[in-house]
Amino acid sequence: MTKVHNFSAGPCILPQEVLKQASEAVVNFNELDLSLIEISHRSKDFVEVMENARSLVKELLNIPDGYQVVFLQGGASLGFLMAAYNFLSEGETAAYINTGAWAGKAIKEAQRIGNVNVVASSEDKNFNYIPKGFGIPSDAKYLHFTSNNTIFGTQFKKYPISRIPLLCDMSSDIFSKEIEVNKFDLIYAGAQKNMGPAGTTLYIVKESALGKTGNDIPTMLDLRTHIKKDSMFNTPPVFPIFVSMLTLQWLKKNGGVKWIQSINEQKAKTLYDEIDRNPLFEGVTEKEDRSTMNATFVLKDDQQKETFDEMWKAANISGINGHRSVGGYRASMYNALPLESVQALVDVMKELERTKG
């Protein structure tokens, strides 16, 4: 089979060995002569999967005591509302940083519960930078931000230093670099970037921070519900959790988060160096805020677009069309994307310069 260089922004590339293991489990899981997706989620075989997945999260991220890990459904889009329900009461105020589409959706959901103070925003420049130097109100219940912005290609290189609890949507860069979990009261992330297929969402929460809002939280939206039931209050999304477990095993086997962070930085440097060197291209975001996961760039001359598109497609490159909010191109370089794929894209950019520059 011809190698496709998959730069899709999500659902995205997964390790080939993980896909192979997952496909085998769909046919015959644990030599049971039953498919993974038809066995009971209460069975010993799947309970072991859930326990392994949660344990790997704790190990790979060095999660300290006092934190709970749960796998749920609904994506980070539901997480926007769950975060507010579990940490904010009616009449109270939460602080939010607006750095793009997903941060904006989180703000909208929090406004259903309480008041929102947008303490910083990069909307004035179409979200092409990360705000800095803003104040954090001490009377706000928490500060919420999105660590990486897939659409616009920006990323927090340093997390805010805050005296109030930090809540973060890390959907698109969790497990891509080392983090200090103890700085946060809540981290949540959809699986479909660096963990597995769409269908499950990871929550890492400081347990002592829960149960303080006085809210009558709907059962399914109360994180305590799922902690008490070990992520199995209702039937969990067994396949996405299983594939997430396999992906985390792959990450651990190869050297963990520190290992992949080094590779991710190398991939990003390779592409950004070419964007800056090549006179036919330019980056979209401020250089200091460039995302390691999602590189956004444009052609300086749109008349080259047809030729460039033909060239990268001929090179078996997939998924680099930019989001409509930005235009141009977006190369998503999640954990499973190999350096050779980034080099394939760079080679096409160099060839365009050679022939059309």
**113 pLDDT higher than 60:** yes
Does 143 have pLDDT greater than 90?
yes
How many residues are there in the chain?
Answer: 357
pLDDT in tens, 255-312: 999 999 999 999 999 999 999 999 999 999 999 999 999 999 999 999 999 999 999 9
- Given a cut of 90, is residue 1 above it in pLDDT? no
CA distances from 265 to 121, 238, 250, 259, 286 (A): 26, 32, 19, 10, 17
| Pair 38, 238: CB distance under 8 Å | no
CATH class of 255-356: alpha beta
Which residue from 256, 250, 245 is spatially nearest to 17, judged by alpha carbons? Answer: 250
| 305 carries an active-site annotation | no
Bridge partners (DSSP) of residue 239 are: none
Q: What is the DSSP string of 280-348?
A: TEEESS-GGGB-SSEEEEEESSGGGHHHHHHHHHHTTEES-BPPTTT-SEEEE--TTS-HHHHHHHHHH
Selected catalytic residue, list 141, 177, 193, 267 = 193
The pTM assigned to this predicted structure is: 0.97
Q: 195-219, pLDDT tens digit by residue?
A: 999 999 999 999 999 999 999 999 9
Cβ atoms of 166 and 142 within 8 Å: the answer is yes
DSSP string, 165-210: PEEEE-TTTTTSS---GGG-SEEEEESTTTTSSTT-EEEEEEGGGS
Which residue in the list 169, 173, 222, 289 is annotated as catalytic? Answer: 169
Do 4 and 318 touch, CB atoms closer than 8 A? yes
CATH 3.40.640.10 in the chain, residues?
Answer: 16-254
- Has domain 16-254 been given CATH number 3.40.640.10? yes
Pair 164, 142: CB distance under 8 Å: yes
Q: Which among 102, 177, 222, 250 is annotated as catalytic?
A: 102
Sign of torsion over alpha carbons 209, 212, 215, 219: positive
Residue-wise pLDDT for 214-229, tens only, equals 999 999 999 999 999 9
User: What are the start and end residues of each CATH 3.90.1150.10 domain in the chain?
Assistant: 255-356
What does the pLDDT read at residue 357?
75
Residue-averaged pLDDT of the chain: 97
For residues 18-46, give the mean pLDDT: 96
How much of the chain exceeds pLDDT 90, in percent? Answer: 98
Mean pLDDT for 95-100 is 98
Whether 289 sits among the annotated catalytic residues: the reply is no
Q: What pLDDT does 2 receive?
A: 56
Pairing verdict, β 115-121 and 93-98:
parallel
Burial 277-305 (b: 16+ CB within 10 A, else e): ebebbebbbeeebbbbbbbbbbbeeeebe
- 102 is annotated as an active-site residue: yes
Summarised one tens digit per residue, pLDDT across range 303-351 is: 999 999 999 999 999 999 999 999 999 999 999 999 999 999 999 999 9
